[in-house]
Chain A
């Protein structure tokens, strides 16, 4: 089943992604606390932050202080561990602990994730490394690697790249895109699909190494039954068949949906944050996406925001065609979406073109001129033989 899933997702083979040990975890953007319209009294709550003591599988206590809390999600609280800066420990919240059904899901998913040894060993994943227990020996959390880096949003505007990654050009960003692709391919080799392509869940450091956090939100395979999955999603990165038919969110993600979502992330990386459905006049990316009108083709009737024409013009025709088949042909026909293996090859070719070009605009994050078309090139040669 896994091999057929892989084949349908990527076609060709995949390679693994290496990387150094992670260090800082990003806060999940969906962690929020009382409505904007609520009165001040509703927003003033006593601060409830508890420390907790958990036990490793050998029964050794791990004391987690309340000040060590780094993030709080729907299911658990993530703590740093004072005695080891390279790990984080997620512990289920009281509400989760009090719900036997939720704990059954948590423990079953933890077991399924722990069984995937290659994922556990992969340094780029904040994967559960070992369970932590309560005083009765019941699993109530897990230890994971602590990840270091900026979220992909740090690459989503030319000014951001300049500030967070000084000296980077489009080659560096394309290499990050390849690393993101490789990370997702490696997971899929083990039947694991990324449910939520939130750029906040992908961290990148100054070496271009990509690390994935919030791994327990992934779709985890289980032999003989439906995979574990969460309903978390970020609308602007969702395949149209999910956004237009929300009932599909309760079904396992398909390889075609993953291809589409990943391609949105990669396009945005290569285009300095421009969403593939962004159009002249603005609008919400998720709403634009649902319309299906992608400005990569004239027939869509919408135009790309002016500043990005130059960036698009320097993509190779093959890479651009790949995106057209993904976002235009593949909008309503998921089977038309190119395999990620093809996308990988075209990004590699794009990197080669950028490396060998004498024109600095070819590898500029913000090109100062658009690439001349064949017509202009013929004119130039005729006038300046």
Chain B
């Protein structure tokens, strides 16, 4: 990344510690119709509500990567309010190259954290949200290792969400750390999920960096279908 690009995506006049958030969204063909529409609305609401909070808007920096046919960075890392001014368009298409998306996500996160370090900006641990309604059709085992290891060391807040009955929870269990593991979205409750994510990030950004592991997250009952998660296959 050249110096100009750094200056345009990283506001060095903002003294707040940053919380990099990476949304890794499945937009494969099976998400077309209501799922991608609800997803888009939920994301818009998240962008609006997080930007409107004077604490979260200083800290949350978002990147959106989609995987559907191909893998794209539809919004590179930027303050959430900047992305709110120009929200990414989500459209469903193609298969599910999740492995390639995991490689890109890992690379992007590392680059962002390196940039913070070079600029002397404190940061919270990153949040990665992986949302999928199917199973990967590329090699995902090796690409999944890096972020899984970071999450197991509590250096990454990793949230894996399966959408609908066809989500492959066995694969998600392999990709995610064992604790807390993947969770199933209740119906198409994207808005409820993103509302919870907003509240969580507000709490993180209102805490100090050393205090971040002690914060308490809100109730997930409105969007998490805990009874609907398929039992693990032996």
Contacts and interface: CB of A to CB of B under 8 A. Distances in A.
A300 interface: no
A2 interface: no
Given A33-B216, A282-B120, A284-B209, A275 B15 contact: yes
Contacts of A285: 208
A272 B181 CA distance: 41
B169 to A, nearest CB: 13
Interface stretch (A44-52, A124-132, A222-230, A244-252): A44-52
Contact of B120 (A40, A280, A286): A280
Given A159-B11, A160-B57, A284-B208, A47 B213 contact: no
Interface string B3-31: 00000000111111100000000000000
Contacts of A163: 57, 81
B219 A33 contact: yes
Interface in B172-224: 179-181, 183, 202-203, 206-210, 212-222, 224
A281 B117 CA distance: 8
B157 interface: yes
Interface stretch (A148-156, A254-262, A329-337, A347-355): A148-156
Among A43, A275, A283, A284, the one with the most B-chain Cβ atoms within 10 Å of its Cβ is: A43
A308 B12 CA distance: 10
B146 interface: no
B15 to A, nearest CB: 5
B54 interface: yes
Contacts of A200: 55, 206
A308 B181 CA distance: 43
Contacts of B207: 29
Given A156-B15, A307-B13, A36 B220 contact: no
Task: Place the interface of chain A in its size category.
Answer: 35 or more
Contact of A43 (B54, B57, B202, B220): B220
Contact of A273 (B15, B214, B224): B15
A124 B207 CA distance: 26
A54 B11 CA distance: 49
A373 interface: no
B219 A159 contact: no
B206 A282 contact: no
B54 A40 contact: no
Nearest to A272: B13
Contact of B213 (A36, A150, A308): A36
B12 A307 contact: yes
Contacts of B121: 282
A19 to B, nearest CB: 19
A235 interface: yes
Among B54, B120, B216, the one with the most A-chain Cβ atoms within 10 Å of its Cβ is: B54
Contacts of B32: none
Interface string B39-77: 000000000000000110110000000000000000000
Interface string B145-172: 0000000001001000000000000000
A47 B221 contact: yes
Contacts of A30: 206
B55 A153 contact: yes
Nearest to B127: A36
A30 B202 CA distance: 10
Contacts of B16: 156-157, 273
Contact of B221 (A46, A154, A278, A307): A46
B126 interface: no
Contacts of B220: 40, 43-44
B79 interface: yes
B13 A158 contact: yes
A236 B15 CA distance: 13
Contacts of B141: none
B125 to A, nearest CB: 9
Nearest to B205: A29
Interface string B113-140: 0001000111000000000000000000
A160 B206 contact: no
A29 B58 contact: no
Interface string A142-175: 0000000011011011111001100000000000
A115 interface: no
B208 A235 contact: yes
A369 B62 CA distance: 31
Interface in A259-277: 272-275
Interface in A93-132: none
A273 B16 CA distance: 8
Contacts of A283: 122
Interface of A: 27, 29-30, 32-41, 43-47, 150-151, 153-154, 156-160, 163-164, 200, 235-236, 272-275, 278, 280-287, 305-308, 366
Q: List 4 tightest A-B contacts by C-beta distance, closest first.
A: A29-B206, A32-B216, A154-B54, A157-B14
Given A36-B216, A47-B222, 19 more contacts: A30-B206, A32-B215, A33-B216, A33-B218, A35-B214, A37-B179, A37-B213, A40-B183, A41-B226, A45-B219, A157-B16, A160-B58, A163-B57, A163-B81, A200-B55, A273-B58, A282-B121, A307-B12, A308-B15
Interface of B: 11-17, 54-55, 57-58, 79, 81, 116, 120-122, 154, 157, 179-181, 183, 202-203, 206-210, 212-222, 224, 226
